Amino acid sequence: MARSPSSTRKHAVLLSAALATSVFASAAAAEELRLITWGGYAPDDVVAQFEKETGIDVQVTLSNNEDMISKLRATGGAGFDLAQPSQDRIVGVQRQFNIYKPIDFSRVNTDQLQPAMVKATQESTELDGQYYGVPSVWGTSGLIVHNSVADVVQDYTDLCDPAVAGEVSYRLKRPTLIGFAFAMGMDPFAAYDDRDKYQSILAKVQEKLIDCKDNVKTYWTGGDQLLALLRTGEVKAAMAWDAGGWKLNAENPEIRFVAPESGALGWIDTFAIPRRSENEEAAYKWINFVMQPEIAARITNESGNFTASKGADEYVKPALRDAYRESFDEAAINNIKWYPPVPPGLETLEGQVLDTVQAAN
């Protein structure tokens, strides 16, 4: 049967529409967000919901600060569309290697973020009048103690008390240097821009840590190792992250996370856009998606750390929320020492101190 001109035109229009739809669908299917982040920050069910709602495929690479910086430095800021470095690890790296691009806050739904977290992150990631980070997940390091030694260990340096000899653990990493310095009455953050003064502080901490070696059961190097040491009772007190303490508290109420008298050390992991991101639009969609309170609470439940999402704690598992509130009253929160940006060269000094402590008898 011969087709009429009108039906032919209609067929052509339909065919054209079908082709356009096919091309659009292919383009949508090909869209991808390459995310480099920490374990627990992109739960499978959150990724699946984002992919379903946006049509954007999410490729997750698990990492840490050192690895993120190394990968982005090697490629000049290519290979990923969104990264999640800590707020104190951005400015120094950006100044040296130019691997990020400024955040366009007009594309971020800041109404769903804690204003204080936005302010703190902007202050610590500002460079030449531009901001390089959006707050994502935050937490602290402090003390995990068993009730049997809770009266003895109330600050970092109490880990060196003879009453807990052989029963304590901490990492040989920079947070230990910082925490001990504060507990010894010094302010290492205020000395960040004075190399001689900072080195003087490190020298005192080094001496303290060498004197404290006999108290240390072992220097823990991984979270699982630390949790095992506390579960078995081999270690009664440790310097560690709050999330680990809350996890142990859920298993054994006699173990709990305590904010030290001199103040817990606070960190904020951010969202940062790599300089050669190929899909900024998807990156901003992910930021605004995961910072919705009910979605952000699922990240807290997975990672054990709270987020900058305003009101998300209402949706967090009650046991985790209660453990958090037991560790932090208002005074303890106001006493948190937030990590400022690390100036270039400081980590070299710290590394030398840590190596000396490790090698000392």
**What domains are there in the chain, each with its CATH number?**
32-138+266-338 (3.40.190.10), 141-264+341-359 (3.40.190.10)
Q: CA-CA distance, 35 to 59, in Å (whole number)?
A: 6
User: Encoding tokens for residue 303?
Assistant: 């990672």
- Supply the pLDDT for residue 334: 83
- Supply the pLDDT for residue 30: 58
Q: Torsion-angle region of residue 219: left (phi > 0), alpha (psi -120 to 50) or beta?
A: beta
In one-letter notation, the amino acid at residue 26 is S
Alpha-carbon distances of 212 from 134, 144, 148, rounded to whole Å: 39, 18, 20
Instruction: Enumerate residue ranges in the chain where pLDDT < 70.
Output: 1-30
Cα distance from N-terminal residue to C-terminal residue, the chain: 97
- Give kind and range of the element (H or E) at residue 231: helix 223-231
- Supply the pLDDT for residue 330: 79
- Residue 250 burial by Cβ neighbours in a 10 Å radius (0-12, 13-18, 19+): middle
Q: For the packed helices 280-290 and 44-54, what is the interaxial angle rounded to 10 degrees?
A: 120
pLDDT digits (tens, 9 = 90+) for 99-142: 999 999 999 999 999 888 899 899 999 999 999 999 999 999 99
| Residue 283 C-alpha from the chain's centroid | 18
DSSP classification of residue 261 = T
- Supply the pLDDT for residue 104: 98
